[in-house]
Structure 1
């Protein structure tokens, strides 16, 4: 089966992160089996979702891993002019949810794995497909645990997130956090006698903005990023029942996206100190006053040196001269930091099309991706 046919089938699965993905993964497993490639499914606790891992070639050496996620973001509330879960080919583009982020690369990687089965590889090719990347790089962790116990790990990894086929060496890490603000309820006619949790939340957001301002003015900088410093951002604020009740609880969900050189734990400690400074003066009258900051999930940043072997290797496959860094997060930092696998990001399409209605990847980008993977197979036949 060729890349286009595989992409058509992948897009046809509604693999929004909240949905099961087992049917999709079983289809890929069975497709690979037709070419003699045995893939392992790594299910989650419910059995409704799974990662997939397959190897072609010798089992006693490192090799190259192609990594992609098959979950996609929702289409709810978006104005699509084409069916989001059916492939539409028009004007030199493939349209459909996930074509850029990142079923286009996954289709090319699956096709390359099938082609590899008919080649005499001296160095192995590995295929890793994950779930729940879009909700915090959560699903891939069980695959990483499997590789931690494996006798051999891949020697390098290409994560095929969309980079317009440039070779990306880095991205920021992310920590998602929640501040739970506790006050005291009361009738709004007597509001000054209560402690409004939404007001506490607003004060905490002010602290977030102060920290961000200090980072922007004085923090570490990396000019390879569009925003060259660590960012702290409040995304959700919830609280209250109705306007005549002073709310006793409010929640602020926020995030830190940190440069590889920045330690997010330092920022979390600063924000916890700021939270305590907000509520400490209130406890004489309201002993229950608190702002508790909890970590929800995180993934590490990626900071592969520009002169690393994997960088030069993938540049040789693509013909690239330089490297870039990307604004969005990937699973690459987990492969690099948890497993010690040198990793780069390189895939077809642009994230400017990702997560939008009428998402697409161009046929030109897919052709360049296929050419890179063909060059990879040729190198694996010679043993790198």
Structure 2
């Protein structure tokens, strides 16, 4: 069986494991650990506190500092409705590989595992880091980054295989996710002054978010990202029980995607001031914000060995993307990091998600060339 067909076969097995973030990924992690072990990898399965979610860290080649890490996540978003076929069964048609996670990002993981024998023979350390719960806040990668900072390994470079159509990306925005809850006092809708309307408090909060979003837009009208400015999105707003009842409870799920840490800090300070003013104006109103995740962006840097490696092999220059990944976490522990992976982000999280066969072939070629370059040493 060719390496390409081996990758497709493994991708089919991976898709058949419905590793939606509210389910365990343990069985898939064990399957991949077994495959990597057959290629000579030293595998560590690192469970979370529940034991149901697992990070897999597999190391190939010599036990030494430096080398390369290939990074991917094993969880997928829910399939939802609108699929033309079973989302958890690979469908191969018209040069495309359909299935939940095929693009985001099991295709890249399957290619890394299929290439493990080649990568392990290149003579330098190569690590495959596969994480849980990227889709709900990079929970697994945050735990793994802490473990690596403490215990190693300490690779010099990382390639995060999110779908970029095999373009090299050295920068993206952060992704900060929150839920803000409002607690008022319910009562009869005929006497609104006798209650504390949490729904109105949530509405004022959303208007403040919108004002901040417009402010951020004015601060950065141009730049390398699309859109260039930091963004804020109130994605879900829930309040009240009925039209004739004062809303005693409300909540807003929202996110911001800052370009810089300074922008994030500005938004936090502005919202803290807003909350103080709200409590003063409406005694008894409760406001509490839960932080679901604050994942730093990937900062474009002048010195980035991983970017230089891939642009040297693939040609062109590095670009930017607006979506968030685990890359900033690896950069945060001192690893030069880029994104480069098969598929188009436009296909991620959608019904009939697919990755093109040509993209998988290009990924395998990239990994083969990386292995050759690492084995050749400094040029």
Query: What TM-score, normalized to structure 2?
Result: 0.94
Flag structure 2 segments of 5+ consecutive residues without an equivalent.
Answer: none
Answer yes or no: is 1:122 the counterpart of 2:123.
Answer: yes
Shift of 1:278: 3.2
Answer yes or no: is 1:53 the counterpart of 2:57.
Answer: yes
Q: 1:15 to 1:216 in 2, by over 3 A?
A: same
Deviations 1:70-126 (A, max 9, x none): 1100012x2111221111111111111111100010011111113334x2x321111
Partner of 2:166: 165
Q: Secondary structure at the match of 2:347?
A: coil
Partner of 2:105: 102
Instruction: Check whether the contact 2:186–2:196 (CA below 8 A) recurs between aligned residues.
Output: yes
Answer yes or no: is 1:335 the counterpart of 2:327.
Answer: no
2:377 pairs, out of 345, 360, 383, with 383
Partner of 1:361: 355
Deviations 1:166-215 (A, max 9, x none): 00011111221222223222111212332211011111111111111112
Deviations 1:139-185 (A, max 9, x none): 12222122112354000000000001000011111221222223222
Q: Secondary structure at the match of 1:206?
A: helix
Flag structure 1 segments of 5+ consecutive residues without an equivalent.
Answer: none
Partners of 1:301 and 1:327 in 2: CA distance: 9
Partner of 1:75: 79
Query: What TM-score, normalized to structure 1?
Result: 0.93
Deviations 1:297-351 (A, max 9, x none): 211011132552221111123x2311211111100000101x1101000001111
Partner of 2:232: 232
Q: Secondary structure at the match of 2:164?
A: coil
Partners of 1:68 and 1:274 in 2: CA distance: 39
Deviations 1:214-256 (A, max 9, x none): 1212x13552211111111111112212222212221112111
Alignment size in residue pairs = 374
Shift of 1:293: 3.2
Q: Secondary structure at the match of 1:149?
A: helix
Instruction: Check whether the contact 1:125–1:380 (CA below 8 A) recurs between aligned residues.
Output: no
Partners of 2:377 and 2:189 in 1: CA distance: 74
Shift of 1:361: 0.5
RMSD over aligned Cα, in angstroms? Answer: 1.6
Answer yes or no: is 1:323 the counterpart of 2:327.
Answer: no
Partner of 1:209: 210
Partners of 2:66 and 2:276 in 1: CA distance: 49
